[in-house]
Amino acid sequence: MQLSKAQVTQYEQDGYLLLRGLIEEKDLVKYDARFREYVMSQRALPADMKIMQDVMVVKGEVNPETPVHSVNKLLCLENDDVLFSFAHHPELVSAVQSLLGTELYTVSSNVFNKPPGVDGRHPMHQDLRYFRLRPASGIVGVWTAMLPATREHGCLAVIPGTHRGDLLDHANPDWDFVNHGFFGIDGIDLEQRVHMEMEPGDTLLFHPLIVHGSGRNRTEDFRRAISIHYAAGSCESPKENWQNVGLTRRIS
């Protein structure tokens, strides 16, 4: 779906854009089935893919009902044909091209699973903290709900306009249970948060400097999403030839 001029302007102003119903149910069902196969050990993990367990499970604080209840994320989807077909989804690619131009690469991919019964919060952070590519405006994150994501489920929350500021300091949150690699920014005014309640297929496009995070899942259901970060071919990295290394994939 090519974005309209008004949508591009809105993304530039707010640092995010919510596209309702972008991904069809038939695709979500395929992604979900494949995710479950990996997590239930019904399919061998392809090269590079990893399952990250929730910290409360790792520390023995929670005894998961099923393997799916133990997982925080499935990462590095590049070598799975079904899950990585999301990155090639024509509607998604066209929307991202409206922001980044036609030469697109992927630089990270995840299924985020927020099970009931664990803390699972994601502190307020900026994704640029995790990337060496620049400029920031050459990167776009996408996050598609696979299951309903209401406030009760711990939906994403963003602070509009923060993408116009700098990359802020990140540190380990002072929480009892923090998942591996989840750094947060101190002193964020949480009153400024806008909660992104989403139905399956709804897709958030977001700037890597936007301050965002997610809350605890207080329901009995899972909250699950599939996510990719795209980068424009014109981005630069201290690493030479970033387009040809590791899990980077050319999409268009």
Ligand X SMILES: O=C(O)CCC(=O)C(=O)O
- Please report how close the Cβ of residue 148 comes to ligand X at its closest, in angstroms: 14
- Please report how close the Cβ of residue 141 comes to ligand X at its closest, in angstroms: 6
- Please report how close the Cβ of residue 6 comes to ligand X at its closest, in angstroms: 25
Amino acid at 59: K
Cβ proximity to ligand X: between 41 and 186 the closer is: 186
In three-state secondary structure terms, 161 is coil
Cβ proximity to ligand X: between 207 and 212 the closer is: 212
Cβ proximity to ligand X: between 9 and 128 the closer is: 128
Strands (E), 20-146: 50-53, 71-75, 104-114, 122-125, 139-145
Amino acid at 151: R
- Please report how close the Cβ of residue 240 comes to ligand X at its closest, in angstroms: 26
The C-alpha torsion from 14 through 15 and 20 to 22, rounded to 10°, is 150
Does the CA dihedral 233-234-236-240 come out positive or negative?
Answer: positive
Burial (CB < 10 A; 0-12, 13-18, 19+), residue 213, is buried
- Please report how close the Cβ of residue 227 comes to ligand X at its closest, in angstroms: 5
Residue 32 phi, psi (nearest 5):
-65, -40
Residues near ligand X (CB under 6 A): 112, 122, 127, 141, 143, 156, 212, 214, 225, 227
Cβ proximity to ligand X: between 2 and 172 the closer is: 172
Residue nearest ligand X, CB atom distance: 214
Cβ proximity to ligand X: between 6 and 177 the closer is: 177
